[in-house]
Amino acid sequence: MTAHLFKTAATASLLLLAATVTADAALHVPRIHDVAFTGKNGNFSATITGTDFGVAPDGIPCTACQPLQIQIVDIVSQPAQQVINVTSWSDTSITVTGIAANKGDSVRVGVYNQTLGNVDTWGGPVIAQKKSTPIITGIAKSGEGVNLSLTITGSGFGPAPAGIGDNFSSPFFVFTDYNIQLPGSDGFPWNGGFCGQNDCNAVLVNISSWSDTQIVMDGFGNSYGNDWVVNPHDAFCVGVWSSQSTSDGTTGGTYACKRAPK
């Protein structure tokens, strides 16, 4: 009897461990490993490689579309989603054509696995980064939700702009989060800090310090909440323009993407 009870308890523990591992692993997929571009200004193609993209969603392949499951945004016209052609989709590779970006533009790519209910993002330049644009080398993260703290390191951020502090908004910094709880809603994605000319969510950020090599964001300010929240493991991106830029949040910015802490 004792041996039977021990075996039953051990089996239950293993099943619980397996379920925990499986659930935790699901939080980390899909994963984008690389985005390779080919083409010319105004008409680029991209091959997105990674893991766990899932089966091709309904409606894909598609032409001149803006699908929920694959979103491409050029920082020059952010947060507007590009109209693209999705020519192929497999569990490890997605091919997109007709991307209306220019060489050197920084873009963010979001891939949503509808079956697993999770998203991953990638941020980087088309072909090669333009000279004189900010370089983001790291994003250290801590806290959660409204208190999410980010330390963004790199170079070319410029001196501290006027108005940094709580409830900061300027055409030098944007935070973009994919609210995984609300796919297909206004919160997928939503933007804070600076939201461009096309779709403003009015969420403000708290910037505690800014130098040429480091920006510290200490949580969110006004309008955070409702659809515009950061969940554990949400994919997010930050976009940075030099504080000396005169482009009004269009050309000259740089994207980098991560996941929120669990």
User: Can you give the residue ranges of every domain in the chain?
Assistant: 30-126, 131-262
pLDDT at residue 9, rounded to an integer: 38
Integer Cα distance of 256 and 2 in angstroms: 56
pLDDT at residue 10, rounded to an integer: 37
Measured over the CA atoms of residue 216, residue 218, residue 223 and residue 229, the dihedral's sign is positive
144-183-169 Cα angle (round to 5)? 50
Q: Taking the CB of residue 50, how many other CB atoms lie within 10 A of it?
A: 19
What number is the average pLDDT over the span 37-54?
Answer: 97
Mean pLDDT of the chain: 89
pLDDT at residue 4, rounded to an integer: 41
Do 30-126 and 131-262 come out as alike in CATH topology? yes
126, 103 contact by CB (below 8 A): yes
pLDDT at residue 126, rounded to an integer: 97
Question: Is 0.85 surpassed by the pTM of this model?
Answer: yes
Residues in the chain: 262
pLDDT at residue 262, rounded to an integer: 82
Note the Cα 219 to chain centre separation in Å.
17
Q: pLDDT tens digits for 77-86?
A: 999 999 999 9
Q: What is the CATH number of domain 131-262?
A: 2.60.40
Integer Cα distance of 187 and 81 in angstroms: 14
* Local confidence band at 197 (pLDDT 50, 70, 90 cut-offs): low
pLDDT higher than threshold 90 for residue 6: no
pLDDT higher than threshold 50 for residue 167: yes
181, 260 contact by CB (below 8 A): no
Q: What is the CATH number of domain 30-126?
A: 2.60.40
What number is the average pLDDT over the span 120-148?
Answer: 96
Integer Cα distance of 112 and 188 in angstroms: 10
Percent of the chain with pLDDT over 90: 79
pLDDT higher than threshold 60 for residue 48: yes
Integer Cα distance of 199 and 29 in angstroms: 28
Residue with tokens 């323009």, as numbered in its chain: 241
